[in-house]
A and B are shown apart, each in its own frame.
Chain A
Amino acid sequence: MSHELLLPIVLPLLTGALLLAQARRSLAFKRALSLGACLLLSATAIFLLRLASQGETLSYALGGWAPPFGIVLVLDRLAALMLLVTSLLALASMLYASAGEDAPGRNFHALFQFQLLGLNGAFLTGDVFNLFVFFEIMLIASYGLLLQHGRPDRSRAGLHYVVLNLAGSLLFLIAVGILYGVLGTLNLADLAVKAAQVKPADAPLVRSAALLLLVVFSLKAALVPLQFWLPPAYASAPAPVAALFAVLTKVGVYAIVRIYTLVFGPGAGAVAQVALPWVLPAALATLVVGTAGVLASRDLRTLVAYLVVMSLGTLFAGIGLFSVEGLAAALYYLVHTTLVTGGLFLLVDLIARQRDRADRLEAGGRVAQPALLGSLFLVGAVAVVGLPPLSGLVGKLLILKAGLGSPLMTWTWTIILLSGLAGIITLSRAGSLLFWKTGPAASAAPGAPGWAWLPVAALLAASPLLVLLAGPLTEFTRDVALQLMDTGNYLAGVLR
């Protein structure tokens, strides 16, 4: 029994509950509590990462009910990596939110903690139904965060986001029902055992359940053709929320990686590799749509939201191979893209606050801090499109290299390289418009406090850091991928 697996779930839960009870206390109190919890969560995540990197899969049976009958939490390298990325992004977003974005909504901090609870739970759970429950926790917190202050432009995007996700949840339940009806279990490890022995007569049912799950996770991960909700929702979210949402799509990515390597992986007999024919083509389509959106964006927020879509396409171009190299490359890229796009959402908000034209891409007054924001924008742009010397390049190269020899290699290479080119064109046009073609500065913009750029810089600094640490990190993501492909490791850790 490793009780420490509970920490990433219990910590935000208790903090969130306390924040709800103390909703009328001063903002300073809530900020201190929330920031303290985020710091503790990061420390916990580092501790768990060290624990998981020993290579064993750890599990915790809630209430002492042994799996497959009870509910389990499972920690392996992938879960630990996702926990760490989430907690770092949450810490930076929370710091930025404390610069003033958290003031209008009284329960902002509580919702933020519940969002973290849902995210961490989804990464740790070893049970399909609990994955559904944590998805719902995460989603309902995200509805609250997205729609706070009740601005009119958020109503429409919010309504679409909520209704689509509710429909997605219903599909999820249908898939879970079919899986339980045929295989008689919901524990992921037990599902993997039972799916490999499925009777040929039942295989079509299980395959359809698996593909229904793929639809649900693709909706969360905004794979084409299920990406329409993302740009308006992310573009209208408050900046720290949009930054945290950068990891929300990664939950869909995580679920796809987990389910289609463990349960429906190569060793699953009649239901092996059900996702393989779908993910890579969808990834390439996502890249094309994301690129078109990037080129057509008329404001910075939408531009960054489409950059998220584009990065998800690149990510799935690695995952869709379902090989050790592909997964390892994609996981390196995942760390990079989550932190950098999170930083970009915050940066865009800083820019918008200091300009007279907000974030619209048209010539206007100068920003109040052109040198600072300009260099941050340069770093972010270089990192996100994958120019040397920053981490986007390393990630993309790894994915391209993993794609060598795959049947769709020509398409993958062409589309990834062309989308990079389109990204360069758009971002250099946006950068020169924002920082060079400017009139006099807007008079006394009511900007954020002077230190608000610090969390932005910290997130964007992750990119050069990821290049410096590329050696150990790629080794680690390779270990993650090897552990994912070795389902025996997971089964041994859970079913013992």
Chain B
Amino acid sequence: MEVLLAVVVGVLVAAGVYLLLRRRSFSVVLGLVLLSYAVNLFLFAMGRLRTDQPPLIHAGGSYADPLPQALVLTAIVIGFGMTAFVLVLALQALGNLGSDRVDARPEDPP
């Protein structure tokens, strides 16, 4: 399971970084989304991967760490809000600058 998760995180980061470096703002937003998925999975895995374990410390047994899940939840909420915001911002920039290039200036032709 560790290998699968590592591969998934790696692929998501690679795709996210590639999209983040693109010229159009929509690709950049998608890149941020993929990166935040990767980071959430990574945070989740940092509590170690254990199946069928209670999230409580009990005598003698191993347990699933509940804290990373709380962290991931917070990160998801913040990431969700930020994604919505940056989408609106990208649309506003498209309207104001007449171009969806991230390096567009007001005086550029579309």
Q: Give me the interface of A with B, judged by CB distance under 8 Å.
A: 129, 133, 136, 140, 143, 147, 150-153, 155-156, 158-160, 162-163, 166-167, 169-170, 173-174, 176-178, 180-181
Residue contact A150 to B42, C-beta cutoff 8 Å? no
- Chain A's closest residue to B68 (CB) is A180
CB-CB contacts below 8 Å: B59-102 with A: 67-68, 71, 74-75, 78, 81-82, 85-86, 89-90, 92-93, 96-97, 102
| A166 and B39 contact, Cβ closer than 8 Å, known pairs A140-B85, A150-B92, A173-B75 | no
Residue contact A155 to B78, C-beta cutoff 8 Å? no
CB pairs A–B below 8 angstroms (11 shown): A140-B81, A140-B82, A147-B89, A151-B96, A152-B97, A156-B97, A159-B89, A169-B82, A177-B46, A177-B71, A180-B43
A169 to B80, CA, bound (A): 13
A177 to B74, CA, bound (A): 13
Residue contact A155 to B43, C-beta cutoff 8 Å? no
Give the residues in chain A near B43, CB-CB below 8 Å: 173, 176-177, 180
Residue contact B25 to A159, C-beta cutoff 8 Å? yes
Instruction: Given contact pairs A155-B93, A159-B102, enumerate 5 new A-B contacts (beta carbons under 8 Å).
Output: A150-B92, A159-B90, A163-B102, A170-B32, A176-B71
Give the residues in chain B near A177, CB-CB below 8 Å: 39, 42-43, 46, 68, 71
Main SS class of interface, A: helix
| A143 and B36 contact, Cβ closer than 8 Å, known pairs A152-B106, A155-B96 | no
Query: Size band of the B side of the interface?
Result: 20 to 34
| A156 and B93 contact, Cβ closer than 8 Å, known pairs A136-B78, A177-B46 | yes
Residue contact B102 to A150, C-beta cutoff 8 Å? no
Give the residues in chain B near A158, CB-CB below 8 Å: 89, 93
Q: Give me the interface of B with A, judged by CB distance under 8 Å.
A: 20, 25, 28, 32, 35-36, 39, 42-43, 45-48, 67-68, 71, 74-75, 78, 81-82, 85-86, 89-90, 92-93, 96-97, 102-106
Contact partner of A133 (CB less than 8 A), chosen from B68, B74, B85, B106, is B74
A162 to B93, CA, bound (A): 12
A180 to B67, CA, bound (A): 10
Residue contact B85 to A162, C-beta cutoff 8 Å? yes
- Chain A's closest residue to B81 (CB) is A140
| A178 and B46 contact, Cβ closer than 8 Å, known pairs A147-B89, A153-B106, A160-B102 | yes
Residue contact B86 to A162, C-beta cutoff 8 Å? yes
Shortest distance between the CB of B72 and any CB in chain A (Å): 9
Shortest distance between the CB of A155 and any CB in chain B (Å): 4
Residue contact A156 to B86, C-beta cutoff 8 Å? no
Give the residues in chain B near A166, CB-CB below 8 Å: 32, 82, 86
Q: How many A-B pairs with Cβ below 8 Å?
A: 85
Shortest distance between the CB of A152 and any CB in chain B (Å): 4
A343 to B52, CA, bound (A): 59
Shortest distance between the CB of B93 and any CB in chain A (Å): 4
Residue contact A167 to B20, C-beta cutoff 8 Å? yes
Chain B CB within 10 Å, residue with most, of A150, A153, A163: A163
Give the residues in chain B near A143, CB-CB below 8 Å: 85, 89
A143 to B81, CA, bound (A): 12
- Chain B's closest residue to A154 (CB) is B96
Give the residues in chain B near A136, CB-CB below 8 Å: 78, 82
Contact partner of A155 (CB less than 8 A), chosen from B48, B82, B86, B92, is B92
Residue contact A163 to B86, C-beta cutoff 8 Å? yes
- Chain B's closest residue to A178 (CB) is B46
Give the residues in chain A near B39, CB-CB below 8 Å: 170, 173-174, 177
Contact partner of B36 (CB less than 8 A), chosen from A156, A170, A178, is A170
Shortest distance between the CB of B88 and any CB in chain A (Å): 10
Give the residues in chain A near B36, CB-CB below 8 Å: 170
Shortest distance between the CB of A197 and any CB in chain B (Å): 19
A163 to B82, CA, bound (A): 10
Give the residues in chain B near A159, CB-CB below 8 Å: 25, 86, 89-90, 93, 102
- Chain A's closest residue to B88 (CB) is A147
Contact partner of A163 (CB less than 8 A), chosen from B32, B42, B68, B96, is B32
- Chain B's closest residue to A153 (CB) is B106
Give the residues in chain B near A133, CB-CB below 8 Å: 74, 78
Give the residues in chain A near B35, CB-CB below 8 Å: 167, 170
Give the residues in chain B near A174, CB-CB below 8 Å: 39, 42
